[in-house]
């Protein structure tokens, strides 16, 4: 094979009227791509309109001349004379090309002719030629990666020119819970081309899971594979260049004294600090308390003022309804998952019959809520105020950015809402935060052992007492039956 070719002279063909005529005859009008003049000079019909750059086929043409010895200049080692015809006759050229190399001896690029010309390629300042990485067109994973990005770029090119895909694609997501919601949200994030998802879970895949938890299969259940491991692996099967990290850990829960482990609290804190979006997707109230507290702590300074940290997103399901909410972040004050509650989270499994331990949800609700949650994050990612965007701050280029969205399947209704934090919240209120900052892990340990101290510390008990005193024995609904968790 010719390893390199170099044009050593190039002149307008118009200077040689006879050669011009015989070259045109050699290829015929609009006919062949290449031919030979009566004098034996090779002629090439180039698709490039002018200059010293030639189309990609020219390289093959030169190789053919070299292999067959056509156009060889007598007495000049490795030199060939060829004619190049173009659309505009004044752009026609007659070239002398020097070629070197054969397959056996010229494998090393250092053997390349100095300043070598390669057909169809443009010379670079200071180097031989522009080079291109062909690997990306040969590796299926790389092809998939750019095809995914192309899908998103099409949104930008065709419909929303101001879209900045990197604002969502570059985010790091932490999935706290890799069950029904974790799987659905991850699938939707892959659709946006998100490359970094960390899956956390303490459970294994059960037989009932695969039909609703879209990253698992029956064989995962047979093997009782850890959910975080199986979810990450299956997500990578869908998108090979996903960085799918795995954390097998039980989140400590109020009312579950044995769930408290110092190293798990530390790990959780570290994970929250390393991610941009923290998704609360477990299936009990109490498992969401610690991560909600840690995010609140990361987004609020000691004076109760906002500082930017990760965005917390909570998704919770009822039989035919859901809520998607974003928590406070920086200057944006919003209700957290516990702001609506009038009791502290406790062990929700204990003393429940089996049918009460499994929640009963219409299958479509999880997919619907997951899609809404991901699209809300996508919209926030495009807003100039990002995680601090409040609904009043105006729309993002993808539309509204409500603090909370409730969905009702029975009448196919979505209700966007603006929210405020609750002063006596058992999770994000100032007094809870102050106590946590003062007592640190001691406070957490006490809460895991005795969840009722949350009602005391937050001032919720005092508030309930005041209400009782004012209007008699008020029955407060301790549990939102509408929004049981999956
Ligand atoms: P189903 O409810 O259909 O029986 P499931 O309970 O296995 O399924 P989901 O309810 O869909 O799964 O998802 C909740 C996920 O949250 C589960 O995978 C569960 O293991 C995980 N989870 C719950 N509590 C914790 C916790 N404290 N720490 C870590 N992961 C948790
Ligand atoms: Zn709150
Ligand atoms: Mg469950």
Residue nearest to atom 9 of ligand 1 (CA): 179
Give the ligand at the shortest distance from the Cα of 227.
1
d(CA 466, CA 474): 10
CATH architecture of 166-436: 3-Layer(aba) Sandwich (3.40)
Upper half-sphere CA count for residue 97 (Cβ side, 13 Å): 32
Q: Which atom of ligand 1 is nearest to the CA of 485?
A: 10
Q: Is the CB of 209 under 6 A from ligand 1?
A: yes
Q: Give mean pLDDT, residues 450-461.
A: 88
For residue 179, the CA-to-ligand 2 centroid distance in Å is 24
Tens of pLDDT along 365-389?
999 999 999 999 999 999 999 999 9
For residue 54, the CA-to-ligand 3 centroid distance in Å is 64
Upper half-sphere CA count for residue 317 (Cβ side, 13 Å): 27
**Smallest Cα–Cα separation from 445: which of 313, 288, 252, 208?**
252
The most distant pair of C-alpha atoms in the chain lies apart, rounded to whole Å, by 115
Question: Residue 104 has what pLDDT?
Answer: 43
Question: Looking at per-residue confidence, does 409 or 123 come out higher?
Answer: 409
Q: What percent of the chain is modeled with pLDDT above 90?
A: 63
Q: Is the CB of 22 under 6 A from ligand 1?
A: no
Q: Is the CB of 177 under 6 A from ligand 1?
A: yes
Q: What angle do CA 118, 119, 121 make, to 5 degrees?
A: 75
Inform me whether the pLDDT recorded for 358 exceeds 60: no
CB 203 within 8 A of CB 213: no
End-to-end CA distance of the chain: 66
Tens of pLDDT along 290-330?
999 999 999 887 666 667 789 999 999 999 999 999 999 99
Give the ligand at the shortest distance from the Cα of 337.
2
Residue nearest to atom 8 of ligand 1 (CA): 209
**Smallest Cα–Cα separation from 364: which of 425, 321, 312, 396?**
321
CB 78 within 8 A of CB 100: yes
Question: Residue 304 has what pLDDT?
Answer: 62
Tokens read off for 198: 């960390």
Residue nearest to atom 17 of ligand 1 (CA): 179
Tens of pLDDT along 425-437?
999 999 999 999 9
Tens of pLDDT along 212-261?
999 999 999 999 999 999 999 999 999 999 999 999 999 999 999 999 99
Dihedral sign for Cα 342, 389, 186, 273, please. negative
Question: Looking at per-residue confidence, does 133 or 67 come out higher?
Answer: 67
Pinpoint the residues of the chain covered by CATH 3.40.50.720: 166-436
């Amino acid at each position: 094979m010719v390893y390199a070719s170099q044009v050593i002279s190039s002149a307008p063909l118009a200077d040689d009227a006879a050669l011009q005529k015989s070259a045109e005859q050699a290829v015929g009008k609009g006919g062949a791509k290449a031919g030979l003049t009566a004098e034996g000079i090779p002629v090439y019909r180039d698709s490039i309109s002018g200059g010293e750059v030639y189309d990609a086929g020219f390289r093959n043409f030169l190789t053919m001349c070299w292999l067959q010895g056509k156009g060889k200049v007598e007495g000049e080692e490795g030199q060939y004379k060829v004619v190049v015809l173009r659309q505009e006759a004044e752009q026609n050229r007659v070239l002398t090309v020097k070629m070197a190399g054969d397959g056996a001896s010229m494998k090393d690029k250092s053997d390349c002719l100095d300043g070598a010309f390669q057909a169809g390629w443009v010379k670079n300042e200071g180097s031989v030629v522009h080079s291109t990485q062909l690997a990306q067109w040969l590796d299926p994973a790389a092809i998939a990666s750019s095809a995914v990005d192309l899908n998103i770029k099409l949104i930008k090119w065709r419909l929303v020119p101001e879209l900045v895909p990197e604002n969502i694609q570059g985010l790091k997501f932490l999935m706290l819970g890799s069950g029904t919601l974790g799987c659905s949200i991850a699938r939707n994030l892959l659709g946006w081309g998100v490359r970094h998802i960390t899956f956390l879970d303490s459970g294994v895949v059960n037989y009932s899971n695969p039909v609703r938890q879209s990253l698992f299969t029956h064989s995962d259940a047979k093997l009782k594979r850890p959910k975080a491991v199986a979810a990450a692996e299956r997500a990578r099967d869908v998108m090979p260049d996903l960085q799918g990290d795995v954390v097998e850990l039980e989140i400590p829960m109020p009312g579950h004294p044995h769930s408290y482990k110092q190293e798990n609290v530390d790990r959780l804190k570290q994970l929250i600090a390393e991610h941009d979006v923290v998704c609360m997707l477990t299936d009990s109230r109490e498992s969401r308390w610690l991560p909600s507290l840690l995010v609140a702590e990361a987004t609020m300074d000691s004076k109760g003022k906002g500082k930017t940290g990760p965005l917390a997103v909570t998704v919770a399901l009822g039989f035919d309804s859901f809520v998607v909410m974003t928590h406070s972040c920086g200057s944006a004050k919003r209700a957290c998952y516990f702001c609506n509650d009038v009791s502290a989270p406790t062990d929700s499994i204990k003393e429940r019959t089996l049918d009460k331990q499994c929640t009963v949800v219409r299958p479509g609700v999880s997919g619907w809520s997951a899609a809404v949650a991901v699209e809300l994050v996508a919209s926030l990612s495009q807003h100039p105020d990002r995680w601090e965007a409040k609904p009043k701050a105006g729309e993002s280029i993808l539309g509204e950015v409500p603090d909370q969205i409730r969905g009702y399947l029975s009448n196919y209704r979505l209700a966007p809402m603006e929210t405020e934090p609750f002063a006596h919240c058992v999770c994000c209120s100032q007094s809870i935060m102050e106590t946590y900052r003062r007592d640190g892990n001691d406070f957490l340990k006490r809460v895991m052992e005795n969840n009722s101290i949350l009602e005391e510390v937050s001032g919720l008990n005092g508030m309930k007492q005041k209400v009782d005193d004012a209007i008699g024995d008020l029955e407060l609904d301790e549990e939102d039956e509408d929004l049981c968790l999956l």
